[in-house]
Structure 1
Amino acid sequence: MAPQYYTVTWDQLHRDARALAWRLIDTGPWKGIVAVTRGGLIPAAIIARELECRLIESVSVETYNEESIGHPVVTKAPTAAGDGEGFLIIDDLVDTGTTARVVRKLLPKAHFATVYAKPAGKDIVDTFVTEVSQNTWILFPWDTDAAPQFVAPIARAPGRGA
């Protein structure tokens, strides 16, 4: 099945991160936030502001790049989060769950939240805002050209007979 694309603008990401903050506000208070780099950095900053949380950690797990998928490697572990108790883990997306499983193992008592979730990984996180299909590739604003571009209507998509 050919991948579908879902383009997320800066405005949409901000709204979705704030929606995630609304879902999390009554599950705290939080000692701190652990942002999963790199995708979780911006949502974590928005959520930290909304929840008035000042302690922000990061964890970096390399699992793939645009060319290949590999074995996950923790390149930077969080230092102040302990086992995660009282901490909130924030990432932009849970896809297959590979990164999420590694982070969960590092911080088993943390609450894991993502802005977007795919079916293969959604059961690993505690909270998310929007579910997309497994074959959807999310184009985040930091991965795309900032210039608005024309997008043909769905009816004109290849293979639709239009």
Structure 2
Amino acid sequence: MQSASPAPRYYAVSWDQLHRDSKALAWRLVGLGKLKGVVAITRGGLIPAAIVARELECRLIETVSVVTYDEEVRGAPQVVKPPSAASDGEGWLLVDDLVDTGTTAKVVRALLPKAHFATVYAKPAGRPLVDTFVTEVSQDTWILFPWDTEAQFIPPIARSTGP
């Protein structure tokens, strides 16, 4: 008899937790000293970048937009908005919510090779591409960010594991 596929793993992050984890990221980055600015990878990096920029007293925030997936379907990365003020990234902090497979990270690293790259969460496949992160999760875990979710009833884990 063939066993059923394991249920997907999800890790829900609340607004409060995201704020705490982004602030913890800022604590790890404070030793970088004075920055030219922060580059947020949109869309997921916008909120962590705002929190980190506030904590590091950095007022100049730039964005880079790379589209790699829609919901859970991945595709080839496409830069839809390059950063305009960051040149090669020297003295800049690059912030994203998560490094997963490293697809986006590789594209952005090529655009800003001298930037310090920080993410709030990291998965093993992408972890070597970032300089600083706060929390590592397994590669098979899908992080549910607060901007992608809403409250609803979820059955207990024991109901979904079967006999």
TM-score range, shorter chain: over 0.9
2:125 alignment counterpart: 120
1:158 partner SS: helix
Asked if 1:103 corresponds to 2:111, the answer is no
Asked if 1:29 corresponds to 2:29, the answer is no
- The aligned length equals 158
- The 2-side partners of 1:153 and 1:88 are apart by 41
Percent sequence identity over aligned pairs: 73
2:135 alignment counterpart: 130
Give ranges in structure 2 of 5+ residues lacking alignment.
1-5
- The 1-side partners of 2:107 and 2:94 are apart by 12
Give ranges in structure 1 of 5+ residues lacking alignment.
none
User: In structure 2, what residue type is equivalent to 1:45?
Assistant: A
- The 1-side partners of 2:18 and 2:12 are apart by 10
TM-score (norm. length: structure 1): 0.93
Shift of 1:150: 4.3
- The 2-side partners of 1:157 and 1:113 are apart by 38
Shift of 1:159: 2.3
- The 1-side partners of 2:155 and 2:135 are apart by 24
Task: Select which of 70, 87, 99 maps to 1:94.
Answer: 99
- The 1-side partners of 2:105 and 2:97 are apart by 11
TM-score (norm. length: structure 2): 0.92
2:161 partner SS: coil
Alignment of 1:37-48 (within 5 A): 37-48=42-53
User: In structure 1, what residue type is equivalent to 2:83?
Assistant: P
1:64 alignment counterpart: 69
- The 1-side partners of 2:60 and 2:78 are apart by 24
2:160 alignment counterpart: 158
- The 2-side partners of 1:12 and 1:84 are apart by 29
Mapped contact 2:7–2:160 kept (Cα < 8 A):
no
Shift of 1:7: 0.2
Shift of 1:26: 0.6
- The 1-side partners of 2:72 and 2:14 are apart by 24
1:87–1:151 distance in 2 versus 1, CA, 3 Å: same
Asked if 1:76 corresponds to 2:81, the answer is yes
1:16–1:67 distance in 2 versus 1, CA, 3 Å: closer
Mapped contact 2:39–2:92 kept (Cα < 8 A):
yes
